[in-house]
Chain A
C-alpha cells in the first residue's frame, strides 16, 4: 500500500521545516542520491523501483531462487535456522520475508524440537508421570512459538500466504505489511529478528538496523542472511562471470524480466562487505556481532544481540 511509503516522507519534510538544518549528516532533503544497482537515483525513487521489481518477480520468485542458486539457497536458509537454534516459545519477526521461507522453516524446526523433546521425556517417565499424563492428554504447558512475516510488498506476501494455505501450515503465522525502516510494531516484542536477502534493498540500512534494535526484546537476536564478498579470488572470478552472464539470462527465460535480475546482481555488488556490515551492526548498538561465511563468502550470516 502506498501509505507507508508516503507517510514517512511527509513527516520528514515537515520536520525539516521545523528544525531548520537537521543535526544529522544524513539530511532529509529530497536531492539525496543513493544506488539502485549500478545506477544512481534519488532516495525515495529507490523504494518505488524496488517495490516494482519485487512486484514483477513475486510469482516466479521461488522458482528463480532455485534456478539461480542451483537449489543452494535452501541450504543457506537451513544454516540460518541451525545457527539460530530457536528455543520453545520464541517469537520470530521475519522482515522482508515475502514468500515466507524462513518463517516456515522456523515453525517446522520448533515443532520437530518439541516432538523430539516429548519423545525423550516419554522414554524416562516414572509411574507417577505416566499416571498424571493419562488424565491430561492434550496438555500444552509450554508456550507456543509464533512467526510474523513482514514485507513492504503485498504481492510477495500474497504468494507466501498461498504457499502457507496450500501446505496447511498457517498456525502460528501472521502476515503483516510494513517498511523495514519503520516497523509497525511496539518496542521489545520479538525474540528473533531475521532479514534474509532483503536488507540490501532497503534505502537506509542503518535505520532498518535501529528498528531491529527497537522491536527486539532485551537478549533478543538479530540475524541477517545476505549476499556478500567472496574471499577467494578464483571463486570470485567465476562468481562474477556467473552473476553477470547467466542470471539475467535465466531471468529473461524463466520470469521474462531481464532488468529485475540485472538489478539483483548489481545490488549485491553495492552492498557493504562482511567486516563493514559487522561494524554497522555494532555501531547500531548490538553486542557480540559476528558473521559466518557460507559457500566461500557468497552469502554471509551476520548476527548480533540486543543486550
Chain B
C-alpha cells in the first residue's frame, strides 16, 4: 500500500517518464535475498541510463527519480529497488545516496559503510576548530554531506573515531610523500639524504599536518590517552615510526645479505620486529636490538616534539624544529658515543689482560715446572 503511494508520488514528480507505471513494483520479502545478487546487474543498467539524466540538485527528487527508475527495472530484474549507484569519483556536489548491502562487496560503483563513515569524518574535520573534537563536529560534517545529524549514532566512539581517523589520514599522507621521495631517489632525480636529515624532515612533515588543528590538539591528545583508545593510538604511532624507518633505509631485518623485498609498510603490522616472524633466521643479538632501539628512539623524539609544539608560540614553530634538530643530534651522538665506549672498553680490557699476563710472567706463575 505504502509502496504504491510512493510509486505514485514518484510518478507525479516525473511526468517525462510517461504515464502509469506498467507493473506494480515488486516488494516480495523473499526477493530481498535476490536483491543482493541482482543489485550488480541493476546498478549497471542504471549506470547506462544515467548519462541522459538531467543534473539534479535536490536530493529528494534525485532519490525519487531513482526509485521510479529502479521500479521500472524491477520488472526485468525482480529486485527491490531502493538504492541507486554512483561511482565514488563523482560525488563532489551531490550527496551520495548509493550504499552497499551488508555483504560488503567491493566494486568501484559501491560504497561500503566504512567508506561512508570515512567520508563523514573527513567532512567533520573542517568543523573541528569550531566545535572541537566532538560529536557536534561529526554532526556538522554529516550535514554538509546531506545526511541527517542522527547518523552520528554510527560512531560509538564519537570523538575517538574522529581523532583516530585524522591520525590515520595523516599517516597515510606521510607514507605517500615518503614513497614519492623514495621513487625520486631511485630514479636518480634526487640525492639520498643522510639518515639524520631524513628523520628530521619526515618528523617535521608529519607534525606540520597538525598545524591547522593546533588550537584543539591538546584535546585530541587527551582523547587518544583514554584507556579504550590507547590500543588504537599506539598502533598508529608504531605504524608511523616503522614506516619512517623503512623509508630511511633501515633494512635491519635482512638475513645474511640477501635482500627480501618487504611488503608495503602498512600491511600486517605488529609491534615485533620481523626477526620474530621468522625465528629460524640466525642473527646477532645486537642487530635484533637495533630494530627496537631505533623505533623506541624515534617514538621518543616524535612524542616529545609533539608536546613541545603544543606550547610553541614562535613564528612558524621555529623553536619546535630546533628542538627536533637537537634531539636527533642527541640520538646520533649517543650512537657514536656508544660505539666509542664499546671500542674503548675493549681496548681497556685488552690492556688489563696484557697487564695481568705480564704480572704472571714476572712473578713466575706462568712457567711450567
Report whether B6 and A25 are in contact in the complex, using a CB–CB cutoff of 8 Å.
Answer: no
Q: Which of B30, B146, B152 contacts A25 (CB 8 A)?
A: B30
* A83 and chain B: residue at smallest CB distance: B153
Chain B neighbourhood of A42, CB < 8 A: none
> What string of 1s and 0s marks CB contacts (under 8 Å) between B53-96 and chain A?
00000011001100000000000000010110000000000010
Chain A neighbourhood of B154, CB < 8 A: 288, 305
Q: How far is it, in angstroms, between the C-alpha of A229 and the C-alpha of B64 when the chains are bound? A: 38
Q: Which of B23, B26, B113, B147 contacts A288 (CB 8 A)?
A: B113
Stretch at the interface among A129-137, A149-157, A218-226, A241-249: A218-226
> What string of 1s and 0s marks CB contacts (under 8 Å) between B148-160 and chain A?
1111111000000
Stretch at the interface among A31-39, A48-56, A209-217, A250-258: A209-217
Residue picked from B95, B135, B152, most chain A C-beta under 10 Å? B152
Report whether A217 and B153 are in contact in the complex, using a CB–CB cutoff of 8 Å.
Answer: no
Smallest Cβ distance from A89 to chain B, in angstroms? Answer: 7
Q: Which of B5, B102, B136 contacts A282 (CB 8 A)?
A: B102
Q: Which of B6, B9, B102, B146 contacts A218 (CB 8 A)?
A: B146
Number of interface residues of A (CB under 8 A): 44
Residues A289-305 near B (CB distance < 8 A): 303, 305
Indicate if B3 sits at the interface (CB-CB under 8 A): yes
Report whether B99 and A287 are in contact in the complex, using a CB–CB cutoff of 8 Å.
Answer: yes
Residues B176-203 near A (CB distance < 8 A): none
Stretch at the interface among A164-172, A187-195, A231-239, A264-272: A187-195
Indicate if B37 sits at the interface (CB-CB under 8 A): no
Number of interface residues of B (CB under 8 A): 42
Q: How far is it, in angstroms, between the C-alpha of A88 and the C-alpha of B148 when the chains are bound? A: 11
Residues B118-154 near A (CB distance < 8 A): 135-136, 139, 142, 145-154
Report whether B1 and A182 are in contact in the complex, using a CB–CB cutoff of 8 Å.
Answer: yes
* B10 and chain A: residue at smallest CB distance: A187
Chain B neighbourhood of A84, CB < 8 A: 150, 153
Residue picked from B2, B59, B147, most chain A C-beta under 10 Å? B2
Chain A neighbourhood of B336, CB < 8 A: none
Report whether B2 and A307 are in contact in the complex, using a CB–CB cutoff of 8 Å.
Answer: no
Chain A neighbourhood of B1, CB < 8 A: 8, 11-12, 181-182, 207
Q: How far is it, in angstroms, between the C-alpha of A23 and the C-alpha of B80 when the chains are bound? A: 13
Known contacts A23-B28, A187-B64; decide if A221 and B151 are in contact (CB<8 Å): yes
Indicate if B231 sits at the interface (CB-CB under 8 A): no
* A282 and chain B: residue at smallest CB distance: B102
Q: Which of A12, A86, A87, A283 contacts B29 (CB 8 A)?
A: A283
Report whether A283 and B99 are in contact in the complex, using a CB–CB cutoff of 8 Å.
Answer: no
Chain A neighbourhood of B136, CB < 8 A: 87-88
Chain A neighbourhood of B147, CB < 8 A: 217-219, 307
Q: Which of B4, B5, B29, B60 contacts A188 (CB 8 A)?
A: B60
Q: Which of A83, A85, A187, A191 contacts B135 (CB 8 A)?
A: A85
Chain A neighbourhood of B5, CB < 8 A: 182
* B23 and chain A: residue at smallest CB distance: A23
Indicate if A19 sits at the interface (CB-CB under 8 A): yes
Chain B neighbourhood of A88, CB < 8 A: 136
Q: How far is it, in angstroms, between the C-alpha of A88 and the C-alpha of B82 when the chains are bound? A: 29
A-B contact pairs, 13 of them (CB 8 A): A11-B1, A87-B152, A187-B63, A191-B150, A206-B29, A210-B3, A211-B2, A218-B146, A219-B145, A283-B29, A287-B113, A303-B153, A305-B153
Apart from A24-B28, A282-B102: 13 A-B pairs, beta carbons within 8 A? A8-B1, A11-B1, A12-B1, A15-B24, A23-B23, A87-B149, A90-B148, A182-B2, A207-B2, A214-B2, A218-B59, A218-B146, A305-B153
